[in-house]
Structure 1
Amino acid sequence: MSEQEIPGYTYGAEAVAKSPVSLEDFDLLKKTVLFTEEDEKYLRLAGEVLADQVDEVLDLWYGFVGSHPHLVHYFTNLQGEPDSDYLAAVRKRFGQWILDTCNRPYDQDWLNYQHEIGLRHYRTKKNQTDGVQSVPIINYRYLIAFIYPITATIKPFLEKKGHSADEVEKMHQAWFKSLVLQVTLWTNPYLRPEDY
Structure 2
Amino acid sequence: MKKVADEIPAYSYGTPAVGTSPVSLDELNALKVSVGFTVEDECYLRMAGEVLDGQTKQIVAHWRSGIIASIPNLARHSRTPEGAQNPEYLAKSNLRFEQWILDTCLRPYDQDWLNYQHEIALRHTSIKKNQADGVQSTAYVPFRDVVAFAAVLNDTIRIYLTAKGHSDRDIAGMHLAWTRSLQMQIVLWTKTYMDLAKTSNEW
Which TM bucket (shorter chain)? Answer: over 0.9
Matches within 5 A, 1:154-173: 154-173=157-176
Residue 22 and residue 119 in structure 1: after superposition, are their counterparts in 2 closer, same or farther (change >3 A)? same
Range that drifts further, 80-89 or 159-168: 80-89
Following superposition, the deviation at residue 151 of structure 1 comes to: 0.5
| Amino acid paired to 1:127 | N
Task: Compute the RMSD of aligned alpha carbons.
Answer: 1.6
- Give the SS at the match of 1:26: helix
Q: What CA distance in whole angstroms lies between the structure 2 residues aligned with 1:126 and 1:79?
A: 17
Residue 127 and residue 158 in structure 1: after superposition, are their counterparts in 2 closer, same or farther (change >3 A)? same
Q: Which residue of 2 aligns with 1:131?
A: 134
The answer to whether residue 178 in structure 2 is matched with residue 178 in structure 1 is no
Q: What CA distance in whole angstroms lies between the structure 2 residues aligned with 1:185 and 1:5?
A: 27
Equivalent of residue 153 in structure 2, options 150, 154, 157: 150
| Amino acid paired to 2:62 | L
Contact kept in structure 2, 1:78 and 1:133, CA below 8 Å:
yes
| Amino acid paired to 1:58 | V
Contact kept in structure 1, 2:117 and 2:188, CA below 8 Å:
yes
Q: Deviations over 1:64-111 (max 9, x none)?
A: 111111110111112221211111110000000001111000000000
| Amino acid paired to 1:26 | L
Equivalent of residue 102 in structure 1, options 101, 105, 124: 105
- Give the SS at the match of 2:123: helix
Q: Deviations over 1:116-152 (max 9, x none)?
A: 0000001110000010011111001011101110000
Q: What CA distance in whole angstroms lies between the structure 1 residues aligned with 2:149 and 2:110?
A: 24
Stretches of structure 1 lacking an aligned partner (at least 5 in a row): none
Q: What CA distance in whole angstroms lies between the structure 1 residues aligned with 2:10 and 2:94?
A: 11
- Give the SS at the match of 1:191: helix
Matches within 5 A, 1:59-138: 59-62=61-64, 63-138=66-141
The answer to whether residue 7 in structure 2 is matched with residue 13 in structure 1 is no
Q: Which residue of 2 aligns with 1:190?
A: 193
The answer to whether residue 51 in structure 2 is matched with residue 49 in structure 1 is yes
Range that drifts further, 150-159 or 72-81: 72-81
Range that drifts further, 183-192 or 149-158: 183-192
TM-score by length of structure 1 reads 0.95
Could you list the runs of 4 or more consecutive aligned residues of structure 1 that deviate by over 6 angstroms after TM superposition? none
| Amino acid paired to 1:31 | V
Stretches of structure 2 lacking an aligned partner (at least 5 in a row): 199-203
- Give the SS at the match of 1:9: coil
| Amino acid paired to 1:181 | M
| Amino acid paired to 2:139 | P
Q: How many percent identity over aligned positions?
A: 49
